[in-house]
């Protein structure tokens, strides 16, 4: 019985250490956008019916600011349908918001299928290849930036840049807790990808 108790304590201790590592890791993401790139990739987040959620709206407004500052001329908006009854995918909702802010629709490329950050970046890379674009900036919230950049590097993005914004509307304790779980799942997926057990 003592052996199992000790093993249980070791597992708990390792879990605490891992969570502490991930919490520190996700807190280290910083913007690296210091020059112009060809395209800005806005990573999806939830829609609220026909409109972007407040968190997604923050990403859109931040991306619009970077666009206005001349960092890029084209957008990729990426994200699939959150619920069958919703009229727009995340990408379509983002497109609609950007157009309402005066962005020419022809400057916005939609990726409507992704259901995860990995798919966001995998499918966006395919659009970049179709368009002949070589360098992108990934636009998201700061707590999400570390995982997004790791995924971009695994997907062989060429010198990807990161642009992160903080949130005034999201419950950050909850978001960071969810991100610890998502980051942990990503690391497992990364190992499976490296072993060829996952595509």
Which pLDDT tens digit goes with each residue over 123-135? Answer: 999 999 999 999 9
Dist CA 88 CA 77 (whole Å): 13
Q: Whats the size of the chain, residue-wise?
A: 199
pLDDT of 105 reads 97
Inform me whether the pLDDT recorded for 50 exceeds 70. Answer: yes
Sign of CA dihedral 61, 62, 63, 66: positive
Q: What is the pTM of this model?
A: 0.93
Inform me whether the pLDDT recorded for 1 exceeds 70. Answer: no
For the chain, what is the radius of gyration of the CA atoms?
18
Q: Are 163 and 66 in contact (CB under 8 A)?
A: yes
Dist CA 127 CA 118 (whole Å): 15
Residue of 90, 109, 101 whose CA lies nearest to 52: 90
Which pLDDT tens digit goes with each residue over 75-96? Answer: 999 999 999 999 999 999 999 9
Res. 36 pLDDT band, cuts 50 70 90: very high
Dist CA 95 CA 62 (whole Å): 14
* Residue in this structure with the two tokens 């299928």, named with its chain if needed: 113
For residue 141, with 0-12 CB atoms within 10 Å meaning exposed, 13-18 middle and 19 or more buried, which class applies? Answer: buried
Give SS3 for 35.
coil
Inform me whether the pLDDT recorded for 198 exceeds 80. Answer: no
pLDDT of 133 reads 97
Inform me whether the pLDDT recorded for 8 exceeds 80. Answer: no
């Amino acid at each position: 019985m003592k052996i199992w108790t000790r093993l249980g304590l070791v597992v708990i201790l390792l879990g605490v250490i891992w969570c502490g590592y991930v919490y520190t890791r996700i807190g280290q993401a910083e913007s690296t956008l210091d020059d112009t790139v060809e395209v800005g990739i806005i990573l999806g987040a939830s829609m609220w019916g026909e409109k972007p959620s407040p968190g997604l709206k923050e990403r859109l407004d931040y991306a619009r600011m970077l666009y206005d500052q001349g960092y890029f001329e084209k957008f990729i908006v990426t994200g699939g349908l959150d619920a069958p009854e919703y009229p727009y995918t995340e990408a379509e909702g983002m497109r609609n918001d950007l157009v309402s802010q005066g962005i020419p629709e022809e400057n916005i490329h939609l990726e409507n299928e992704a259901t995860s950050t990995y798919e966001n970046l995998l499918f966006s890379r395919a659009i970049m290849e179709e368009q002949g674009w070589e360098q992108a900036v990934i636009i998201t919230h700061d707590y999400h930036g570390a995982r997004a950049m790791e995924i971009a590097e695994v997907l062989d993005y060429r010198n990807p840049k990161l642009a992160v914004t903080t949130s005034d509307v999201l419950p950050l304790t909850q978001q960071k807790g969810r991100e610890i779980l998502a980051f942990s799942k990503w690391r497992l997926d990364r190992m499976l990808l490296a072993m060829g057990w996952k595509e």
